[in-house]
Amino acid sequence: MTIGQDLLRADRPDAERGGGPRGSGATRGPRRSRRGSGAAGGRAGLTPAALLVPSAAVLIVVVGYPLVTLLVMSFQEFGRAQAFGAPAPFVGFDNYVRVLTDSTFWTVLLRSLAFCAVNVAATMTLGTLIALLMQRLGRALRLLVSVGLLLAWAMPALTAVIVWGWMFDTQFGVINHLLTVLTGTDFANHSWLIDPLSFFLVATVIITWQSVPFVAFTVYAGLTQVPDEVLEAAQLDGAGPVARFRLIVFPYLKSIFLVVTVLQVIWDLRVFTQIFALQGIGGIREQTSTIGVYIYQTSLAGGEYGTGGAIAVLLVILMLAISLYYVRATLKEDES
């Protein structure tokens, strides 16, 4: 009896773990299945990384190589002679010192930041209002508004500048004619592009007109995810439209607003086509250049590719700082 109890006591831990005796195949079977599931989990964990390899390779070729070339060029004395094969000596940080001590660079940068802030504010405000309007419209009117937004969004930037340039034309523009009829003031032969302030007003109209559709569609997609019962409960509690948007809608769409705003800042800060084309129509380049046009004037037009590369690298650093702010804000949002 004592020997039997000892044998039972020795085999009890294996029995409690759900296995048989230590040498039995019942114990080895589950162990093999656990190893198999671990290998399958490892392969499943590698699948997302493998799917990212093609896109990462394309980014390295399309973006990485030009960026590295630009960075190297910014540390060289690189002019027109070097573009045709002459040696490009390294000058260290001389290009950066030249740029950062140039008052013109700071004037253009501050002008670009102010212009970007106005465009982002106008785009986000109008895009949000149009999204709220689309939420209240019927199916037919919503489809009509969506088609109009898509046409504005799909139009190339240069084509948009040409069309709006005709509308703001000094002699035959419809804007001058409408303002003359509506206000009673003679706007005939009024030039909108000579004065820098009115030049940027026209540029803001063009850029905002093409940027609003993206914001409107994105915000409208987010509005469809806001629970109706929460809005109805707030309305029953006496909250008005502004209060419901501020206390309910905006917190739900905070991450969407953050993403769209950061993207608009990046896009509007590096705008080039609209400003350059308007300058060709009638603007004064020295008083209306933004940072993108200034890089073009310094490098391609002026032949100072090293200095232009230094300005471009500084702009890339600024955009990376904005992107890092977005990433940090998104991570904090996920943690909370």
Residues 45 and 178 in one domain: no
CA dihedral 94, 95, 98, 101 (to 10 degrees): -100
Residues 46 and 122 in one domain: no
Predicted local confidence at residue 4, as pLDDT: 44
CA dihedral 38, 39, 41, 46 (to 10 degrees): 140
Predicted local confidence at residue 202, as pLDDT: 94
Q: Which residues contact 83 (CB under 8 A, 6 or more apart)?
A: 305
Residues 292 and 204 in one domain: yes
> What tokens were used for 116?
């970007």
Does residue 104 lie within any of the structural domains?
yes
Is residue 310 predicted with pLDDT exceeding 80? Answer: yes
Predicted local confidence at residue 332, as pLDDT: 73
Predicted local confidence at residue 198, as pLDDT: 92
| Residue 155 belongs to domain with CATH number | 1.10.3720.10
Q: Give the whole-number percent of the chain exceeding pLDDT 70.
A: 85
Is residue 33 predicted with pLDDT exceeding 70? Answer: no
Predicted local confidence at residue 119, as pLDDT: 95
Residues 114 and 196 in one domain: yes
Predicted local confidence at residue 5, as pLDDT: 46
pTM of the model: 0.78
Does residue 57 lie within any of the structural domains?
yes
Predicted local confidence at residue 2, as pLDDT: 44
**Interatomic CA distance for residues 286 and 113, integer angstroms:** 17
Q: Which residues contact 204 (CB under 8 A, 6 or more apart)?
A: 115, 118, 119, 122
What is the number of domains present in the chain?
A: 2
Predicted local confidence at residue 323, as pLDDT: 81
Average per-residue pLDDT in the chain? 83
Q: Please, which pLDDT band fits residue 325 given cuts at 50, 70 and 90? A: confident
Q: Please, which pLDDT band fits residue 229 given cuts at 50, 70 and 90? A: confident
Report pLDDT digits (tens) over 34-91. Answer: 445 555 555 666 777 788 888 888 888 888 888 888 899 989 888 888 888 888 889 8
Report pLDDT digits (tens) over 110-167. Answer: 999 999 999 999 999 999 999 999 988 888 999 999 999 999 998 999 999 999 989 9
Report pLDDT digits (tens) over 90-106. Answer: 988 999 999 999 999 99
Does residue 282 lie within any of the structural domains?
yes
Residues 208 and 324 in one domain: yes
131 vs 232, higher pLDDT: 131
Does residue 88 lie within any of the structural domains?
no
Does residue 78 lie within any of the structural domains?
no
Closest CA to 275 of 111, 129, 71: 111
Residues 36 and 144 in one domain: no
Residue-range definition of the domain harbouring residue 21: 2-73
